[in-house]
Amino acid sequence: MPVVTSNRKLASDVFVLEVEGRFEGQMGQFYMLRGWDDYPLLSRPISIHDIGPNGISFLYRVAGYGTERLARLEAGDSIGLEGPFGNGFPPIDGKVALVGGGMGTAPLLYAAKQLKAADAYLGFSREPFALESFEQAAASVKVNVGGYIVDDLDPSGYDAVFTCGPLPMMRALAKKLEGTGVPLYVSLEKRMACGVGACLVCSCSTKHGNRKVCADGPVFRAEEVELNEEFDVH
């Protein structure tokens, strides 16, 4: 079983968990984490924050029993990990803007590392976190605390925009990009059970009919989906 190397608190209720080993995954994919033996039985889907030669990391906010149990893990503890799952962000041969809000910044660090020269736009309602990692990985980093990070983005000059975060932020971004021709890829979050497309818990409606966020997503073209309240808020 994989072993935890560290579980650091970065801000109130926000932790980064590092697990030792060789792991695979593309930007925007996720793993199912299970750091407990009893209740709750289900694993928690958490996006890849980073993968290095010696391990993988996950950024998460404590928001319930499962993540409380994760936060109690210490170096040396073992953890159940399955993945990677989901489709991830597409490879883009050009300039990409990464726009994240709050915990939605989590999958964008690995995207910044996998892309050639991405600019990161990071919005936080309060205490920011993980900024040093983004400064090392992205070509440039803009941070907005308490305001609207979408206002800081000028889409001209970008070949694509990747986003993850609160629905109002992603909706504002979709509106801003309307008519620009710049494709927007959104990473969505929904409650999951199996994580592999078998239980339908995470189904969402798209222009092409119902899709499963875990298996057909979590990344979709923004114009394919209704950015509505059915999705969980980051």
Contact call for residue 202 and ligand FES (CB under 6 A)? yes
Beta bridge partners of 163: 99, 186
Q: Indicate if the alpha-carbon torsion angle 61, 125, 163, 117 is positive or negative.
A: negative
Contact call for residue 41 and ligand FES (CB under 6 A)? no
Measured in whole angstroms, the distance separating CA 148 from the mean position of its chain's CA atoms is: 19
Contact call for residue 73 and ligand FES (CB under 6 A)? no
With CA atoms as reference, report the closest residue to 140 among 120, 162, 112, 113.
Answer: 120
Assigned token pair, 189: 């979050």
Cis peptide before 90 (omega within 30 of 0): no
* Rounded Cα–Cα distance for residues 107 and 87 (Å): 13
Contact call for residue 233 and ligand FES (CB under 6 A)? no
One residue of 40, 200, 221, 223 binding ligand FES per CB under 6 A? 200
140-199 positions binding ligand FES, by CB under 6 A: 192-195, 197-199
Residues near ligand FES (CB under 6 A), total? 12
Measured in whole angstroms, the distance separating CA 205 from the mean position of its chain's CA atoms is: 20
Contact call for residue 10 and ligand FES (CB under 6 A)? no
Q: How many CB atoms sit inside 10 A of residue 29's CB? A: 22
User: Which lies closer to ligand FES via its Cβ, residue 112 or residue 202?
Assistant: 202
Residue 198 CB, shortest distance to ligand FES, in Å, is 5
Residue 196 CB, shortest distance to ligand FES, in Å, is 7
Contact call for residue 117 and ligand FES (CB under 6 A)? no
One residue of 14, 115, 214, 219 binding ligand FES per CB under 6 A? 214
* Footprint on this chain of ligand FES (rule: CB under 6 A): 192-195, 197-202, 212, 214
